[in-house]
């Protein structure tokens, strides 16, 4: 059995856990991710990557790489039988990236 010294244990390898692990690694902090699922997969729920997530990934350079291929959704609309029921304006966000980024999954 081998042992390693870690500073941080992260429970869960979802988007938050993996981003935290990547950021800690970038900053030189030893972290271990503990995930209950044996395998990755099961379908993506990352339809849209929001402004706060884009900001959180910026220091690592991941945001620039992601935006190189992403579609930038500035307005979301709910429609029924040709009638617009409502809209969400991402372009009014006071954020560096005022849109939702989507990529082929
Ligand atoms: C249909 C659908 C579509 C969505 N679309 C979007 C979208 O487009 N954009 C968006 O930003 N969000 C979307 N979401 C929300 C998105 O799922 C959450 O924002 C995101 O998954 C939260 O990440 P998380 O890491 O906090 O949690 P999770 O993704 O839930 O990850 C938690 C992880 O921890 C593991 N875990 C839990 N308990 C333990 C334990 N005790 N020990 C070990 N491992 C454990 C789980 O197995 C899991 O892998 C969507 C959700 C759904 C249901």
Six-digit token string for 62: 């991941």
Task: Find the helix or strand (DSSP H, E) in which 21 lies.
Answer: helix 15-26
Residue 4's pLDDT band, with cuts at 50, 70 and 90, is confident
When comparing pLDDT for 11 and 14, which is higher?
Answer: 11
Task: Find the helix or strand (DSSP H, E) in which 27 lies.
Answer: none
CA distance 73 to 51: 11
Q: Tell me what pLDDT residue 1 has.
A: 57
Is the Cβ atom of 17 under 6 angstroms away from ligand 1? yes
Is the Cβ atom of 11 under 6 angstroms away from ligand 1? yes
Residue 87's pLDDT band, with cuts at 50, 70 and 90, is very high
Task: Ligand 1, residue 17: give the atom nearest the CA.
Answer: 25
Distance 18 CA to ligand 1 centre (A): 11
CA distance 40 to 32: 17
What is the dihedral sign for C-alpha 65, 66, 69, 73? negative
pLDDT in tens, 14-71: 889 999 999 999 999 999 999 999 998 777 777 899 999 999 999 999 999 999 999 9
Is the Cβ atom of 22 under 6 angstroms away from ligand 1? no
């Amino acid at each position: 059995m081998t042992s390693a010294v870690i500073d941080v244990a992260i429970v869960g390898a979802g988007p938050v856990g993996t981003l935290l692990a990547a950021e800690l690694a970038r900053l030189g902090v030893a972290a271990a991710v503990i995930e209950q699922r044996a395998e990755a997969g099961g379908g993506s729920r990352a339809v849209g990557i929001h402004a706060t997530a884009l900001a959180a990934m910026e220091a690592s350079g991941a945001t620039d790489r992601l935006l190189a291929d992403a579609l930038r959704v500035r307005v979301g609309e709910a429609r029924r039988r040709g009638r617009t029921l409502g809209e969400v304006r991402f372009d009014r966000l006071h954020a560096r990236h005022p849109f939702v980024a989507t990529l082929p999954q």
